[in-house]
Amino acid sequence: MKILFIHGLASSGVYKTAESLRILFRPCEVVAPDVPIDPAEALPMLHRLCEEEHPDLIVGLSLGGFWAQKLRGYRKICINPDFHPSARLHARMGENTWLSPRRDGTPVFTITPAICEGYAAVEQDQFEGLTDEERAMTHGLFADNDEIVDNYDEFALHYPGSAHRYPGQHLPIFPELRDNLVPLAQKLFLQ
């Protein structure tokens, strides 16, 4: 089994959730790339990676959940997905520091108006063309106490019966992943 983990904004493939997934889903392989901040680079890179790696499950966290649900044809769980990153990115315009180390060693990234516009364009059609099969392959985990985003209702509208709550905050800790993500993945996808 192979799992693709897609990290959130300002993070990287070495974010602690990737390591938690390696422990929790052992012996599954967990592929965890550093996703570019520019949507014009991010989505094509993720499509290419899916074609090369053929993941059995995609797990996306926050902005990674936004990207995960855009990868049609794959089983996925979106954890606290941020379906409107352009609004959040406007508040972070300019130079920002990565919150976890990037493989290329860059310490900062820059949010530009063009990047915000790129996200706004990708957001516009994110739920178009959903089939019943795609809805069955996509589930969401939503923290009861998410202090950053809460798109539970919007997800439930587009993916009826596939939105699940868990006790926690936006960035899930190991016990929350163990007690909520693992049973959901096993029940739905890893049998």
**Tens-digit pLDDT string for the chain (191 aa):** 999 999 999 999 999 999 999 999 999 999 999 999 999 999 999 999 999 999 999 999 999 999 999 999 999 999 999 999 999 999 999 999 999 999 999 999 999 999 999 999 999 999 999 999 999 999 999 999 999 999 999 999 999 999 999 999 999 999 999 999 999 999 887 65
Report DSSP state, residue 115: H
Do the beta carbons of residue 59 and residue 6 sit within 8 Å? yes
Place of tokens 């439930």: 156
What's this model's pTM, rounded to 2 decimal places? 0.95
User: Which of 135, 189, 137, 145 is CA-nearest to residue 165?
Assistant: 145
Q: Which residues pair with 53 in a beta bridge?
A: none
Residue-range domain boundaries for the chain: 2-83+127-188
Q: b vs e for 12-40, b when ≥16 Cβ sit within 10 Å of the residue's Cβ?
A: bbebebbebbbebbeebebbbbbbebbbe
Of the candidate CATH numbers 3.40.50.1820, 3.40.50.300, 3.30.200.20, 3.30.70.1380, the domain formed by 2-83+127-188 belongs to 3.40.50.1820
The rounded distance, in Å, linking the Cα atoms of 86 and 65 is 14
The rounded distance, in Å, linking the Cα atoms of 149 and 165 is 13
Helix (H, G, I), strand (E, B) or coil at 132: helix
Place of tokens 């680079």: 41
